Each structure stands twice: as structure tokens, then as C-alpha cells.
Structure 1
């Protein structure tokens, strides 16, 4: 833990600079980027022009993994179960539809159109349809993928997840009314189609608190679908190969436990016994923790490493990204028309 301190201080300084820059009048009047967006941009810039010293790397990884999960847990203080009810059946249906359709399309396009190996196809599809890199890493042992498959899949979902994080707020700003999205529908769209939890948080809160809260609920609902998908995939592969042990034991499936922490905090906040001013300070601090995590994500995004990724996985992930973008819009419009 002590060895991580220098790296955590480093990401914290970047987050402080990002917070300062986002508050500048010229930034507010032009691009109006949130501290989250500026923090990841600074991280990418610094990480790709300066080799991060070894003593800092442990803290950077700690910021990306541990601090991010802590921040997601405390995001629960921005919500109550009434908010969850407000998103309701509509958000749940959209999440399920997008997960199933995207995973199916992702495997098909990777295998049939680009001739990728089955293992690679499953990894790219799971990363795109659920929760990015963490879904890739969770799926790898189920499909018995080689580590270079996992590395390539992580690279592809990182690329297009990062692109989504910037594109979605811009699309909403300039075409939201044309599409027919309000902040809640935008949040559902973002949560149901953007790859990583952190990217969803950034894209959601870049528009508004309402959009960010809705996006977070939608995304974490989608993340909770990881375990059922892995169970189904494991049994499918076991049956397909007609051999015992083709899958993994249910107890070995990695469960994103921070999701349950998030739900617990929503429950605590729903009881309404913590003073509003205390909740406000918790939310301010939590926003800064997210900014620290964004700095770490940027520092870990090494552009040079992307050169080793073959183009076919990138082409496949690009088509899945397009699928997520447009089918997500259509799905929300249809479900909203039926249930709204």
C-alpha cells in the first residue's frame, strides 16, 4: 500500500490540474469539458510523451483499479431507489436487448466477416457488450483464450470505448433534440452502449447530473449481467466441445463486487438519515476520486502499444461500435414508444 503512494499523489496532481482547467472561463465558454474528460486527456498526453517511472506505476494502477471502484461505490450517494424506479423497466429491457444483440452480432461479424479465431471473437464481443476490459479478462478463462488474444481484445474495446466517451456528449449536444432524447434517455443510451464503467460515468456526467446518474444505473445493471452471460457461455462451450471441463466452475466466475457496494450506498442514501450537506460533500469528494481514476486511465493508454494490434480485430470492434451506437438509439426509441 505504501509503495502506491507516489503514484496516487501523481494521479491526484493531474486531477487537481484538470479540475482547475475545467473551471477556467474560456473552457466553460467553449468546449465546456468536465474535469473527468480533461483529466484523461492530460493522462494520455503525459503518458505518451514521458515514460512513467517504475516507482509511480504501482500507484497509477491502484488509482485505476481500486480508487475507481471506491468512487463507483460512493456514486450510490447520488441516487436513491426512487431514481432506480424512475429508470425502471425501460432501462432494464434496453440493457438486456443491447447485451444479447451486441454479443451475438459481435461474435458473428468477428467470425464470419473477418475470420477471427473463436476465442478472439468471444472476447471482443463480451468486452463490447458488457463492460470493456474487465469483461474481456473475465471471459478469457471461460473460452480458454491465449493472453495475446485478451491483450488485443482489451486494446480494441479501449479504443472505441474512449472514442464513445467523447462522441456521445457531442452527439447529444448537437443532435439530441433531433434524435428525440432527453437527459434520461441519453443516460440509458450511454449506459447500455458505452464500453467501460468509467467511460460511461465520464460521458454521462459530461452532459448533466441527471444523465450521469441514469447512465451509471443503466451501466451497472448491464455489468451485473456479466455473471449470467459467462455461465451461459461456459455451458454452451462445454456442450459444443462435448467434453467435461470446457467451462469453469461457477465459483470461479469473477463477480464485480463493487456493484453490490454501489447498491448498498443507494440503499443508505434512500433512508435519508444522512444530512444533505454531508451527502453533498461526499459527492464532491467522489467526483474528485473519479477524476483521479480518469488520470490513471489516460496514463495507462499507451498509444505505441496499439501498433502491435492487428487490424482485423480493430475493424470488427469498429463495426460493433457502430452497431451499439445506432441499434442503441433504435432500441431505446422502440422500447420508449411501447412503455413510455
Structure 2
């Protein structure tokens, strides 16, 4: 018979998605060696390094390369010794990588954008979310799939997808669907990098219009900025401001997702589960770094180093997620599963192009 432990003895444990669950406190366990993380983390790091090499040598988007290599190495997840290292890379790589993005954004950058472009950016983001939600509904998928696809497209691709998935939870979107969303996001961003600058030239957009178009509609940060500078330096500067403003809006989007997901897609929670916080801790830390970066002039080396570290950690998180994904489930998803991301991408392009052409 279990002894009465008193009301203050209950312990709390957090799952992958930051939910706090009430549980009976186990007996003190022996300290486990850190070596248990090595097999999975080492495999993930090697795959990430290979993805970086492919990206550097052949121009493949680094996130897409990490996803594909991770899926190719899916068989290693059959060995339970890799699980803790892979879980560590996916969970903590995601959170620290997003936090470090705070060094790339300041409040002054957002203010310098101006009211009219900011209104256009908000309209583009709204169109992406609405289009993805409608596509998910038409293809008989849950609203959580639409929210994940639309929010990821509206903000910054894989980084936003990882943050939103932490709020939405795998009870609503399974791992295979999430991985497929990452793959389609990376592919769409790569196609946009090649085609959007050519489209801007074809339509004879000026530098401000072209910079807004690529900054507001290309998912990945590096590819959005790269597409802008491929047009011209002034277009690149405009694309940078617009894109970093989208990154800064990650926190409000995650907050709205956390606030609405329970009503949009209710699921039964385990007994004793506490309410999910409005903003996960890593998003609060991201906002704190944005504030610090706005108040104090950081040396350029700090921002550059933080960006490199953020990319590396997010690459590890994406690669680890792909390795842990069951490819048999991925193959069963079918064409309907890609429609929310495609709908959000098309909506972003159409609205951004219309706003750039006739308003800016």
C-alpha cells in the first residue's frame, strides 16, 4: 500500500512539447552516465556535417539536405541506444537554436520597416495561415495540420515549424506529417530562391518592391536574404528587414497558436496534465534576447557567431527528427498531406506580389 506522501510531494515532469505533467515522484535513481547520449548525437552530428558539405559543394539547401540524409539514416533509430541522443539533439537543438535567433532582430529594425510594408507583411502572413487551414479542411485533415503549415510558411520555415510543433503536440500532428511538412517547406523555399528573383525582373519591379516580395514570401531566412541580394544590394537590404520582422513575429504566432489550439483541435489530456503555458520558455528567452539586442549594441562577431550556432543547432534538430521518423508512415500520407504547405506558399506569393506591385 502506498504511503501518504503529503500534498507537496508531487513531482512534475516535462514532455517533448513542454507540457507539464503531474506524476508520482519515483524513488531516487542512480546517476546515469552522459555516454548514453553519444551514439545518437554522434550519428546526428555526422549527418549534419555531411548535409553542410552537400550544401556548400552543390548548393543544396542545408535544411533539405539534413532532412533527406536523416530519412536515409532512419534505420539507425531501430537501435534503442541511439534514442536518447537523438531526442536530446531534436529537443534542445531546437530550443537553443531558436533562442539564438534573437541576436538577429532588434525592435529598431521592425520600426524602420514602416507602417505600409508592415501592414502588407501582416496581410501576407494572414493569407498564408488562412490558405493552409482551408486546404487542410478541404483535404479532410485536422486544423492542426493547417496551422502548422500556414504558420511555418508565414514566419520562417523549419524554425517556425519546430516551434509550433512544440505547442501543437504530437497528439494532434504525428511525426510523419511533421517531417513531410519540413520537407515540403525546404523544397518550396529552394524553388522560390531560384524563381522569385527572375519573376521580379520579369514584372519590372523596382528594388523596394522586389525586396519586399522575396522577404515577405520566401520561407527560409538565408534564402530570402540571398534572393534579395541576388537582385541588388538595396533589394537585399529591404528583404533583410522584412524577413527579420517575420522572424520577430514568431513569438506572437506561437502565443496565438497556444491560445487557440485547444479550441481548434481538442484532444483528451492525460490525468493530471497541467495547462500548457501561453509561451514556451524558449520563446520567452528569444524575446529576452531581442530586447537585449535592441538595448545594447552587440559586436558584429556576436551576431555572426550566434547565427552560425543557431543554424547548426536547428540543422541537428531537423536531422534528428528525420532519423526518428518512420518512413513507412511517411509513404502512407499521400498527396493530401502536402496541400496545406503548397496552398500557403501560393497564397504568400500572390498576396506579396500584389501588395508589392500596386501598393509599395
Fold conserved between structures, TM > 0.5:
yes
The 1:68/1:229 distance shift into structure 2, 3 A limit, reads closer
Q: Who is 1:68 aligned against?
A: 94
Distance across 1 between alignment mates of 2:197 and 2:329: 33
Change (3 A) 1:168 1:127: same
What is the CA–CA distance in structure 2 between the aligned matches of 1:13 and 1:127, rounded to whole Å?
Answer: 29
Residue 85 (1) aligns with residue 106 (2): no
The residue number in structure 1 matching 2:346 is 326
RMSD across aligned positions (CA): 4.0
Deviations 1:285-328 (A, max 9, x none): 3333333334324424543221333x4xx42x444333322221
Rounded Cα–Cα distance in structure 2 between residues aligned with 1:51 and 1:153:
18
| Matching residue of 2:8 | none
Rate the CA distance shift 1:123–1:285 in 2: closer, same or farther, 3 A: closer
| Alignment match, 2:68 | 41
Query: How many matched pairs?
Result: 302
Q: Deviations over 1:231-267 (max 9, x none)?
A: 45656899xxxxxxxxxx9953552443332232233
Are 2:328 and 1:304 equivalent residues in the alignment? yes
- Compared with structure 1, are the counterparts of its residues 216 and 40 closer, same or farther at alpha carbon in structure 2 (3 Å cutoff)? farther
How many angstroms apart in 2 are the aligned matches of 1:306 and 1:168? Answer: 24
Work out whether residues 78 and 213 of structure 1, in 8 Å CA contact, stay in contact via their aligned partners in 2.
no
Structure 2 stretches lacking a partner, 5+ long: 1-32, 153-160, 230-235, 267-272
For 1:52-131, list aligned pairs within 5 A: 53-89=79-115, 92-94=118-120, 96-111=122-137, 113-114=138-139, 116=140, 120-131=141-152
Q: How does 1:218-237 map to 2 (within 5 A)?
A: 218-222=246-250, 224-229=252-257, 231=259
User: Within the alignment, does 1:8 sit opposite 2:41 as a pair?
Assistant: yes
Q: Which has the higher helix share?
A: 1
- Cα displacement (A) at 1:101: 4.0
Q: 1:106 & 1:121 partners in 2: Cα distance?
A: 11
Quick check: 1:123–1:150 contact (8 Å CA) kept in 2?
no
Give ranges in structure 1 of 5+ residues lacking alignment: 141-145, 195-199, 239-248
Q: Secondary structure at the match of 1:33?
A: coil
Equivalent position of 1:261 in the other structure: 285
* TM-score normalized by the length of structure 2: 0.65
- Give the TM-score of the pair, scaled to structure 1: 0.69
